[in-house]
Amino acid sequence: MASPPLLLLDNISLTLGAVPLLAAASLSVGVGERICLVGRNGSGKSTLLKIAAGEVPHDGGTRFAQPGATMRYLPQEPDLSAYPDVMAYVRAGLGPNDDEYRARYLLGALGLTGAGKPASLSGGEARRAALARTLAPSPDLLLLDEPTNHLDLPAIEWLEDELKSLSSGLVLISHDRRFLENLSRSMVWLDRGQTRRLDRSFAHFEAWRDEVLEQEEQEFHKLGRKIAREEDWLRYGVTARRKRNVKRFAGLQALRAEKRDYTHKLGTAKMAALDAATSGKIVADLDNVCKSFGERKIISNLTLRVLRGDRLGIVGPNGAGKSTLLKLILGGLAPDSGTIKLGTALDVVTLDQSRSTLDPSVSLAGTLTGGTSDQVVVGGQSRHVIGYMKDFLFKPEQARTPVGTLSGGERGRLLLAMALAKPSNLLVLDEPTNDLDLETLDLLQEMLADYPGTVILVSHDRDFLDRVASSTLAAEGQGRWVEYAGGYTDMLAQRGVVLSLAKAEKKATSKPATPAPAKPAGTKLSFKEQHELKQLGAEIDKLQGEMRKQETILAAPDLYAKDARKFATATAALGELHKKLETAEERWLELEMRREG
């Protein structure tokens, strides 16, 4: 007999104001299950998770939590203001039998000491503190709302490993595709107030979702044909049967209402960046640039050229200097040494992750128009604000909604709407994917693919970098930055080869720390081994020559953009050659030591 669920939500409904948000939404979580809750921004995912956590009441339906089961909830925007320091905040989440040592371990693993004051914490530090508080008790059930927001890549990868090691049940909201793929076992899709469940990982979700929507689209077309038949009957049918006419007319009106409702609910975002005049071929040219703050070296001898049409991804841990690098590239900050030359005819549009430009008290429409009219200027032409809002999946009734009441994803979409209304030939995007739903991420990716200008992108979203970036600039520590062709996965592959080559070179050139033991009698090389030693020297030279050829191919800065298949082949060949070289060198060293002994 199956054990009862840790948490059960059945036919949950909720109306906010006059707008129904949830209708017949259900969620069941068993012991050790890993469920990812997905849906469009504003669909009610965070609200459903708050209902699951018992923090928000619902209008209808049933909520059941297993008696005695421990549950911890990570909100999207944690509030630490009631606590004197981070450690006090984390301790407050521990139960009577929980181990404080685990709380200290988690704080240390997340780069926090526990002594920080809430008022001085950045968004990323507050999120890390909230994660430590949530994970420290090792609860039976974890409810996590966007846990990767404001985290850098090392922290995201650490969190993945930590969650995999837990036996806790998990309900997770995230728009990080790679994070979802690595953790999910089941998917719950919240769509138009209702939930659908797929007991497979996220890797299968999007194909399944598209099948569901395609089936609905077919039903929609059938509905349209039925309306056409009813209209034809009303025009040409037997008018004497008036009662039946009236009934069928009422049915027709209901069908029309259903069609309007269907069209209104689905919606599709329209996203396009407006082109400015073409910039010069060279957008930015950095030569031996250095920048330090006191004793801390941020950038050391960086040489980088950004050309028109490049999609440059910038990655590195928080504090590595990504924002400083952006300011240097855009001319907002002077280097300590080296030169920076900006291209000609640049029209720059910047998307800031802090969202500090948004006034929470101003309405959505007022933010887009400046509050002066009902028109928004898009690329020099006026458009009615309601029409422009619809392009970004906002409903007309949201026009007077204060920005402060919008969800995180809706605020992200609003910033995109503001940024893309301006003509540009250089887009600078600082964490543009935060809080955006999967559909909007897809549209943003397509827009960037069609954008004729240059894109500089700072992101911790590994999948988005793989889909968008033509090259990746990575922080390697001590102020060193290295540009790799391709996206994040390509960067990891090349970095692995580079590190392995450096390790092999160090191993081959280093001398033993202690004298080699005396060779026992009878270990002279046989004739076969002497021949092998001679052949190994020639083989090593040949392998090194082939590796130099592959490295020359990969050194072409635009190889990935022009021929991704050739780039992948060269990368794989270089890795295979390195393995052969390492094996040959180890065997040569073994035989040579025996010969000399």
Containing structural domain, residue 102: 7-207
Residue 287 shares a structural domain with residue 395: yes
The answer to whether residue 274 is domain-embedded is no
Q: DSSP strand E in 177-295: where?
A: 186-191, 194-198, 282-293
The answer to whether residue 272 is domain-embedded is no
Residue 436 shares a structural domain with residue 562: no
Residue 498 shares a structural domain with residue 470: no
Residue 304 shares a structural domain with residue 441: yes
Boundary of a domain, candidates 266, 294, 310: 266
Successive 10-residue mean pLDDT values, the chain, 597 residues:
80 84 92 92 90 93 92 91 93 88 90 88 86 92 92 89 92 92 93 91 89 81 68 50 51 56 52 64 91 89 90 88 89 91 86 73 88 79 86 84 82 82 86 80 82 89 88 90 88 67 49 42 64 80 80 68 72 76 76 69
Residue 362 shares a structural domain with residue 447: yes
Residue 409 shares a structural domain with residue 522: no
List of residues 6+ apart from 499 with CB closer than 8 A? none
pLDDT at residue 533, as a whole number: 79
- CA angle 407–410–413, rounded 5-degree value: 155
Q: Which phi and psi angles does 428 have, rounded to 5°?
A: -115, 110
Boundary of a domain, candidates 177, 207, 237: 207
**What's the total number of domains in the chain?**
4
List of residues 6+ apart from 419 with CB closer than 8 A? 349, 350, 351, 427
pLDDT at residue 452, as a whole number: 84
Which residue, 362, 371, 439, is CA-closest to 401? 362
The helix/strand/coil state of 321 is: coil
The answer to whether residue 249 is domain-embedded is yes
563 Cα distance to chain centroid = 25
Q: DSSP strand E in 469-593: where?
A: 471-477, 480-485
pLDDT at residue 273, as a whole number: 63
- CATH number of the domain residue 14 falls in: 3.40.50.300
The answer to whether residue 382 is domain-embedded is yes
pLDDT at residue 355, as a whole number: 65
Boundary of a domain, candidates 453, 483, 513: 483
The answer to whether residue 488 is domain-embedded is no
Residue 12 shares a structural domain with residue 156: yes
Residue 581 shares a structural domain with residue 526: yes
pLDDT at residue 241, as a whole number: 45
Residue 473 shares a structural domain with residue 500: no
The answer to whether residue 276 is domain-embedded is no
pTM summary value: 0.68
Residue 237 shares a structural domain with residue 107: no
Residue 479 shares a structural domain with residue 500: no
Residue 473 shares a structural domain with residue 366: yes
List of residues 6+ apart from 151 with CB closer than 8 A? 124, 127, 128, 159, 318, 460
The answer to whether residue 536 is domain-embedded is yes
- CATH number of the domain residue 557 falls in: 1.10.287.380
The answer to whether residue 277 is domain-embedded is no
